[in-house]
Every structure is written in structure tokens, then in C-alpha cells.
Amino acid sequence: MGSWTYAYIMQNAGMTAQSVQLSALAAEDLAFDRTALELESDDEGHFEPSGREIALGDDPMRRACETLRAGTGILLTARNSELYFSVSFARCVEQPHIMVAWSTMMFAELDGERRGAYRKLIARLAAENASNVVVIVVDPPGYFEDSIVDIDGDCYVSTLYAGERVAAVQEVWTANRTIQVEGFLLAHSGEIGAFQRFIAKPKQH
């Protein structure tokens, strides 16, 4: 499958399904596939694809919004001629989040301007869904969203297990939040939309 990069767009637990917005995904000539996969919650409160398809018809964005606002989690695909994103919406879980995934290799082959345009698209998606933390990581372990926690109002990202680094965090974006990433130093790299952008650099032992 190759390497994949994921953006975890973390949301306030008080956010409702009715507030979901998808308009950012209409940029850069992206188009939704006409089917999505339904997500279902397991015994531990994680969302996984159920195997059931949901037809999105001739107006996929409208149908996807209706499905999400009815409280159903979905995994959909948005694509254009140079890249495609898998986007999952897990709202009714302990760690509500939107997860956006893309091919690390395909993204690296784009020029800097195009990569920047897609980063701004993800920042718009995060902002319009009232997120104040985005964590970008390459090939994360399963259920990595559980590693992004709130401690006394600050955000903490756990990346180590038994002393070994298991998550290659690349960037974090924050809006009015203090964030720490275990095992990484964060170097400020300007603004991206409504967020402050930080590049994550592994600490040297």
C-alpha cells in the first residue's frame, strides 16, 4: 500500500453531528466518489468500516452532509487528477475527530505550491468544523486519536510505547491551544489559515 499520511482533526466533544461542514473539500477540483462506506462503533468506542456502502448519488456532497447530520459516521473519498483523500468522520465517539489520509509518495511528488494549497484545504476543513488542533502523522498506529488527549485544557500527544517511538508526527496546527508532543520539539512555521503551524522534530537522546 505504501506510506500514508494522516491529518487528525480533533473536535470538541460537545460538537453535534448537525454542525458538520464539507465545503472545504470542494476546492482544488476535488470530487467525491458516488459511494461511501458506513462506519460503526466497536465495543471500545472506535469507528471502523462496516462493509456497508452508502450511495451518494448525483450530488455526493449534499448526500454526505445529510448522512453525517443524521448521526451516521462515514468514510468517503475525494479525488482529482493529482491526488485523492480518504476522509472519515467519527463524531459520536469518545474522541470525536475527522481523519484525512493521503498517499505520502503522491503528495511528495507535487511542487511546493500545490502541497501548500492542499494544506490550506485541510486547514479550512478543520476550521469550518470548529477544530482547534490538527496533528499530521505518517503511518500512525491504529486508533492514534486516543493518543491525542486534553490535560487541564492543554493538548498532549503521546508518541512513545515502552520507550520506543511509534508515531512519526510531522506537524501540529493549533488555534488558541497549547500543545506538547512526546519526544518531539515543535518549531513555529508561521500561520496556515486560522492555525499556528509547528513542524515536529524528534528530540535527540
Cα separation of 131 and 32, whole Å?
A: 22
**Among candidates 173, 22, 42, 160, which has minimal Cα distance to 89?**
22
| pLDDT classification of 113: cutoffs 50, 70, 90 | very high
**Nearest to residue 44, comparing CAs of 88, 93, 110?**
93
Which residue has better confidence, 157 or 46?
A: 157
Q: How far apart are CA 50 and CA 80, in angstroms?
A: 26
CA distances 138 to 32, 61, 102, Å, are 24, 27, 10
φ, ψ at 62 (rounded to 5°)? -65, -45
B/e letters for 72-87, b = 16+ CB within 10 Å, e = fewer, are bbbbbbbeeeebbbbb
C-alpha cell at 44: 471500545
Residue 102's Cβ-count burial label (10 Å; 0-12, 13-18, 19+) is buried
What pTM does this model have?
0.90
Q: By the 8 A CB rule, do 201 and 185 touch?
A: yes
Q: pLDDT digit string (tens) for 37-89?
A: 998 876 666 666 777 899 999 999 999 989 988 888 889 999 999 999 999 98
Q: What is the pLDDT of residue 70?
A: 85
- Phi then psi for 113, rounded to 5 degrees? -65, -40
* Region 161-178 average pLDDT: 82
Instruction: Return the number of other C-beta atoms located less than 10 Å from residue 104's C-beta.
Output: 16
